Structure 1
């Protein structure tokens, strides 16, 4: 048990460092063009920090805390976990909305964003309406609400549907990119959201086992992957932009040969659409 608690604390610290670095770097690259996707990424990062704080409180010696504190810690972790996941998804979705030139498609995606926010609220509320009518778990030395298959099914379905939407949403947009190599890279980057579903599947399996520490480790991993994936497109595009705008050859006249198509594409993806 002590070994698992140590793993939980280490994974929380490492995850926190990775989340902080990737999000701060993202905000640095986007500092002159901040938009809703960046705000969602920042909120997700802050919620992750709160989540990790709750993990450390929960992983501390349970004999030194009152029962209400332990219950509050559990609810804090559960609520912020969903917040991290769904604000990360909203960040990815708003990144697509930001670069989508078609106003009709933007409205559709904004409707999807509203549904993402609603899904987050419902999943958080579900934890309370499942746990509150069952007071037995509150009396345990380490409170762990038995969420059951209802929560697992809702979480898994919402994860699969939302991640499929995130993978499908930018496909039409990327068809307009003439550089096939760049198009494949960008599609691969935005398709990384499938990693969230994969980790989520592992997480829900641990929810069903009722093993709290392993469940928390899986939850931390899912939250970490979500934030890294939401920051990944911005970071990679920024790196591509830097590489492509770096002079590679001087023809003696002070001019540099740069792949203008790639630069223009990346600038379009990095800047707010008009």
Structure 2
């Protein structure tokens, strides 16, 4: 027996929430892109978040047509609008997850961990394709919903379970990967907590996605639509936090100590000494981590930088005493 649920949102409340959350998500994405364009550091993670923003705008348009003006259209058009709403939802959610994954990827250095992240990119893409195909398979094998005045496919437990498993696993990777990335980095505890707290916001999308899956099983209707709207917008907002928060902390750092030289924290250094008849030269091979809140961005290659920059190139610094 299904539990008693509180009354669902009205049509007007659903539309208002859709418009408000989409505006917030689009503004957050636009601000992130302005930061990246100003710093001339656009990357693949920005491309994915742009795709997510486009899907979110299209989702808003399809939602408004599907919820409010559906009586103006033929039955086939109403069915098409439902499919558009469902697929644009997947587009927002998984574009946002891929954007976060590419943000972590651009911070990593060559090695097994980077190869693991590349494989994960393929897995995320495969999951998106699976969900895309599953929707068509479920809805096309049960055609009764297509005759309803307001057509909505009964996705059932299979889709709910698939969404729960894939969302939880994906968000788990997005939370754990930065922890592994910063495990051996020489940073103060407060800096590590600040960095990891930004990436840990993926847990918010997990909570929202579980709520959405719950309403798929027990309710449907406007409650399911509302949960999907919230999940899509929250996913896009969370995908932008790593850039926006880092920018805010960078400005705060400049205001607090404008004349203090920017510290560069290194890890994994290997020191080698070479003695010559006239002088002593010390060469150090370092991998440089620029702090999220304090470091000034400095690089001649913009495609591999981020708020935390893990340079995968070896930099040699020599100081001679003659």
Please say whether Structure 1 and Structure 2 have the same fold, judged by a TM-score greater than 0.5: yes
Q: Does 1:204 align with 2:213?
A: yes
Superposition RMSD in Å = 2.0
Greater relative CO, 1 or 2 (CA 8 Å, sep 6+): 1
Shift in alpha-carbon separation, 1:38–1:177, aligned structure 2, 3 A:
farther
Mapping of residues 1-274 of structure 1, within 5 Å? 4-31=10-37, 32-175=40-183, 176-246=185-255, 248=257, 256-257=259-260, 260-261=263-264, 264-266=290-292, 267=297, 269-270=306-307, 273-274=311-312
Shift in alpha-carbon separation, 1:196–1:245, aligned structure 2, 3 A:
same
Deviation at 1:124, TM superposition (A): 1.1
Indicate conservation of the 8 Å contact 2:48/2:98, yes or no. Answer: yes
Instruction: Normalising by structure 2, report the TM-score.
Output: 0.79
Runs of 5+ in structure 1 lacking a partner? 250-255
Give CA deviations for 1:155-204 in whole Å, capped at 9, x if unaligned.
00000100001111111222304121111011111011011110011111
Deviation at 1:100, TM superposition (A): 0.7
Indicate conservation of the 8 Å contact 1:203/1:218, yes or no. Answer: yes
Runs of 5+ in structure 2 lacking a partner? 1-6, 266-288, 298-304, 313-322
Structure with the greater alpha carbon radius of gyration: 2
Runs of 4+ in 1 over 4 A off after TM superposition: 271-274
Indicate conservation of the 8 Å contact 1:247/1:257, yes or no. Answer: no
Q: Which has the higher helix share?
A: 1
Deviation at 1:259, TM superposition (A): 5.8
Question: Would you say how many aligned residue pairs link Structure 1 and Structure 2?
Answer: 268
Indicate conservation of the 8 Å contact 2:55/2:92, yes or no. Answer: yes
Indicate conservation of the 8 Å contact 2:10/2:222, yes or no. Answer: yes
Give CA deviations for 1:141-164 in whole Å, capped at 9, x if unaligned.
110101111101100000010000
